[in-house]
Each structure stands twice: as C-alpha cells, then as structure tokens.
Amino acid sequence: MDQHLFEELPEAMTSFNQVMCSFLPDIIVSHAYEGGHIDHDSCHFLASHTGRAHNLRVMEFPCYWRAEDGQDIFQQFRDNGNDEVILKLSEREMDVKRQMLASYRTQQKLTPVFHLHTERFRPVPQKSHAECVWADYGFENRRRRLKAKSFLKRIDQFNRSIASP
C-alpha cells in the first residue's frame, strides 16, 4: 500500500535480501533520502542497509522534495555533494524513460516535470538517517508530522532489532 512501506521494514528487508542474494548484484541503485515520498525514503534505507550488510556499493538518484519556501524541486539532490555523476541519455534511453514515466497512470500530471535528457547519481552518503537536517520533514501526504515521526521511530526500531543478538 502506498506510503506504508516503512511499517513493514523487517518483512521488506527479508524480501529484498532474498532477491539480492539470488541476483548477486555488483551495485544497488535507489532513491535518495530526501523527504519527498515516504516510500522512496524507505527504499533508500533498505538499499543502504543491504549495501552495508553485503559490502556492496550503493548509489542514489534524486526524485523530488519540497524546499522551505514551498517550491517543489525535481531531480536535484537536497544537499550538494561533489561525487554527483550526470548522465546524458541517448535517444533510446530517453524512449525507455518516456515509457517508464507513462506507466505511472495515476501521476500523469506530475511526470512531465522530469527532465528526459539527464539522470543524476551519486554514492549514498555515509551518515545515519537521523542525522539529516530534514529529519523532521513533512512528507507530501496529509498526515505529515505524524508520519515523519513514525517513520524515524520505525527506522530506529529496525536498527535496534538487528543490532541485538
């Protein structure tokens, strides 16, 4: 269910690890932790944790978030880093991206804001989720503060559960 992945972190981690172990990737690519969508941030947490647990490189890409002035920011990292890689997409890659964006039927008003010609990536920063300056951000849903606090609480609970024997 949309915006509830954080409530099922142990189950999601088990599933993700099963897929990861059967696929044996060299790298994991996930959403940036940016406070735009609670499921994106949950995926980031799962990818970051799995990468550390399996000694894999984890890269992130920006999707969207809201600035303090209320402006929506798309495909830019919330915090600047010097390791960002910008890929210029080929015509074939742009066609695939158009098809992917078209598959989000419920978000047809949102998808046109994404740039077709580039993608941005960088290594996942090595700081904890609680250290981020936007840790008390409000997600784009109507239960903003409640969900932000619940999200961080679930992250903390999960971290404590895997730290204890």
- Residue 72: in which H helix or E strand, if any? strand 72-74
- Percent share of the chain, pLDDT over 70: 86
Q: Where are the domains of the chain?
A: 5-88+118-159
CA distances to 22, 32, 127, 165 from 41, rounded to whole Å, are 24, 7, 14, 26
74: its two tokens: 């798309």
User: Is the pLDDT assigned to residue 55 strictly greater than 60?
Assistant: yes
Task: Find out whether 139 and 35 touch, Cβ atoms under 8 Å.
Answer: yes
- What distance in Å separates the CA atoms of residue 143 and residue 120, rounded to the nearest whole number? 30
Identity at 163, one-letter amino acid code: A
Beta-ladder partners of 27: 57
3-state secondary structure of 118: strand
Query: What pLDDT, in 10s, does the model give residues 110-120?
Result: 788 888 999 99
Over range 118-144, report the average pLDDT: 67
User: Is the pLDDT assigned to residue 129 strictly greater than 70?
Assistant: no
Query: What pLDDT, in 10s, does the model give residues 81-126?
Result: 778 999 999 999 999 999 999 998 877 777 888 889 999 999 998 7
